[in-house]
Structure 1
Amino acid sequence: MTKIARLHSFIIRYPDPNDFDNLRMTLLLRIDTADGLTGWGEAIAMWPEACRATAQIIHDGLGPVVLGHDATDTDVLWQAMRRHVWWYGEGGIASLAISAVDMALWDIRAQAAGQPLYEVLGGLQHQRLRACASAHVNKATEADCVAEVAGFFAAGFRSTKLGFAKKGMSRIGGDPDTDVNFVAALRRELGPKAEILIDIGNGVRWDVDTAISVTNRMAEQDIGWIEEPLYPTDDAGYRRLKAATCVPVASGEREWTATGYRRLIESGSVDVLGVDPARVEGVTGFLAIDQLAGAGGKIVNAHAWSTALTSAVSLHLSLASANTRLFELKPFPVVVQQGLVEHPIIQIDGWVYPPVGPGLGITIRPDVVQSLTVEDRKSGR
């Protein structure tokens, strides 16, 4: 039995060049077994207080549940963790904490099997995935923003997902006419074949009529989908939007559990489900959501916006899912992607390929983890 011997969490802080070097935070978790295996997980808690709260739940709540048990018994331990947090855990900080532990356990399980994670998950459904440059639109002028996106395609990317109303100097996301004009300028620059995905996001507050109007105007530029043009829980608004447009609608990256995704699917208003394994209770949670998506005929898009660790887990899950069709990568160098692991995940001629080696197929650099750590804590021996 591969007994869990130790949990070691690291709250890290790093500058993100995609956000003009604004500081971001996340929590990394290392789990060691008594027979020498090490697995890594992540909880994208983002803010200082959320990272500290997640660490406390991991060590004071989940640690006693999993320590001493077989790390490869992922389903049993996932259920045990969910039972432990039943009073406060249908979403929120508890789901983040479960995510980190579950991801690390699956890493260990795949290593113990001597296989890449995607093989343990049932094998490859894709030999490669289209590489999507996922970025914020935040430069000073429309011309600068268009030129930046054109650079992604010149670098080999075959798709782009663009977040509006983000930190920076851009006015895009602040006015519907400006937004529509930007997408039209982008299409003129990129040509008819480039895939353009629009992520409206938290910085924009549209009513339903505005969302319908803007989406249909952007449809003239053949956008691939529009993501969260309304508040995520506005089911009635999303149903109106879906009925009034031919553009696929995406949502979900702010959901926590399979229950939340079931609501989205049953609402009949969402075509693409954004799913983040560092948020939705780990690999096990992702698999449950993916199964629901397949039954409902929905596309799954892994939200891999944080570190190379979450990117690796998301890639394995995406490659093993019949419901995925692309993979998001940051098109800018950032320490938690290129520096955190020895061999970062990259696009090659516009494609992302399966990692090799047992487990996640990445090697975490302890020196980089330590250099970014602002707070850490251990449980176990």
Structure 2
Amino acid sequence: MTRIAAIEPIPVEYPDPNDFNTIRRTVLVRVTTDDGIVGWGECIAMWPEACKAVSTIITEGLLPAVKGMDATDTDTVWTTMRRHVWWYGEGGIASLAISGVDMALWDIAGKAAGKPLYALFGGLKHERLKANASSHVNKKGEAACVAEVVGFFEAGFTSCKLGFAKKGESDIGGDPDTDVSFIRALRAALGDEAEILVDIGNGVRWDVDTAISVANRMAEYRIGWYEEPLYPTDDAGYVKLKQNTRVRIASGEREFTEAGYRRQMELGAVDVYGIDPARVEGITGFRRVDALASQYGKVINAHAWSTAITTAASLHLSLASPNAEIFEYKPFDVVVQNDLVADRLWHRDGWAYPIEAPGLGIEVQEDVVRRIAMT
């Protein structure tokens, strides 16, 4: 039996060129077994205090609870971790901590079996997925914002997802008329076939009537979906929005648990669910939500927007899911994607293909991890 010997949370920080080198943070997790297998995971905690809290939960709570357990029995370990945090852990910081440990254990399970993760999930449901350039709209002026997205398609992407009201020099996300004008100009520049996905995001504060109006105005330019124009827990708002637009509604990336996703799916107001394995209690949690998506007939989209560790996990999960349509990449050079692993995870000719090496299929560069570790 391959037993859990050590779990090390490693908070890291790095400049993100997509946001003018704003410092981003996350927690990497290194799990070692008694027979020397190393697995890697991630907890996308982001804020400094959250990174510290996640690390404490892992070292003082989860490690003592699971040390010595079979590292390849991911379901049992996952259940043990959830039961340990029962008092404070239905979502939030505890779910982030569980996510990183669970992801690392799946990496170990794949390496122990000599198989890529998608094979442990039952095999591929897609030979490939459309590669999506997922970025923030933050350059100065409409023309510059349009030109940047056009550049993504010239670089081979076949889809784009555009976050509004982000840090930078753009006023996209500040005024509905400006936002619609941008989508109009972008559609004119890209032509009829390019897929445009709109992510309104946390920086926008619209009431439901404004959200409905913008959705219907953007529908003229054939956007593929319309993501989180309202606060995620505004149930009544999402129901009204769904009833008054034909555009697909997306949400979910800020949810933590299977129970939370089930509640949203039962409401029936969202079509596309963002799921982040570094947030939603790991690969195990992701697969449970994906099973719900199959039950309710929903589309899923892996939120793979942090490090290459989560990108690898998300790629395996997406290609093994019947509910995925695209796969997101950061279209900018960033250390946690380009340098963190030996071989960059990237599209080929506008498509995302499987990783064939065992486990997550990546070789984490530990010197890079230590270099970007928070002090």
Q: How many residues align?
A: 375
Q: 2 CA distance for matches of 1:8 and 1:242? A: 44
Equivalent position amino acid for 1:93 in 2: I
SS at match of 2:181: helix
Q: 2 CA distance for matches of 1:216 and 1:150? A: 24
| 1:73 paired residue number | 73
| 2:105 paired residue number | 105
* Residue 374 of structure 1: how far off its partner (Å): 1.3
Q: 2 CA distance for matches of 1:243 and 1:156? A: 36
| 1:368 paired residue number | 368
Runs of 5+ in structure 2 lacking a partner?
Answer: none
CA displacement 1:333-380 (0-9 Å, x = unmatched): 1000001000011011100100011101100001100110014xxxxx
Q: 1 CA distance for matches of 2:176 and 2:297? A: 31
Q: 1 CA distance for matches of 2:282 and 2:39? A: 13
Q: 2 CA distance for matches of 1:85 and 1:322? A: 32
| 1:316 paired residue number | 316
* Residue 9 of structure 1: how far off its partner (Å): 1.5
SS at match of 1:321: coil
| 1:135 paired residue number | 135
Q: 2 CA distance for matches of 1:288 and 1:6? A: 26
**1:278 has 2:273 as partner:** no
Equivalent position amino acid for 1:35 in 2: D
Q: 2 CA distance for matches of 1:6 and 1:87? A: 24
* Residue 66 of structure 1: how far off its partner (Å): 1.1
* Residue 121 of structure 1: how far off its partner (Å): 0.8
Equivalent position amino acid for 1:231 in 2: Y
SS at match of 2:160: strand
CA displacement 1:292-330 (0-9 Å, x = unmatched): 000100000000010000000000000110010100000
Q: 2 CA distance for matches of 1:160 and 1:65? A: 42
| 2:268 paired residue number | 268
Q: 1 CA distance for matches of 2:319 and 2:366? A: 27
Q: 2 CA distance for matches of 1:10 and 1:372? A: 10
Counterparts of residues 171-190 of structure 1 (less than 5 Å): 171-190=171-190
Equivalent position amino acid for 1:31 in 2: V
| 2:193 paired residue number | 193
* Residue 208 of structure 1: how far off its partner (Å): 0.5
| 2:214 paired residue number | 214
| 1:90 paired residue number | 90
Q: Percent identity?
A: 66
Counterparts of residues 112-131 of structure 1 (less than 5 Å): 112-131=112-131
| 1:290 paired residue number | 290
Q: 1 CA distance for matches of 2:259 and 2:8? A: 30
SS at match of 2:15: strand
Q: 1 CA distance for matches of 2:300 and 2:137? A: 23
TM-score by length of 2: 1.00
Equivalent position amino acid for 2:355 in 1: P
| 1:234 paired residue number | 234
* Residue 36 of structure 1: how far off its partner (Å): 1.2
Counterparts of residues 18-97 of structure 1 (less than 5 Å): 18-97=18-97
Q: 1 CA distance for matches of 2:259 and 2:374? A: 34
Equivalent position amino acid for 1:103 in 2: M
SS at match of 1:374: coil
TM-score by length of 1: 0.98
Q: 2 CA distance for matches of 1:351 and 1:162? A: 18
Q: 2 CA distance for matches of 1:246 and 1:177? A: 20
* Residue 65 of structure 1: how far off its partner (Å): 1.1
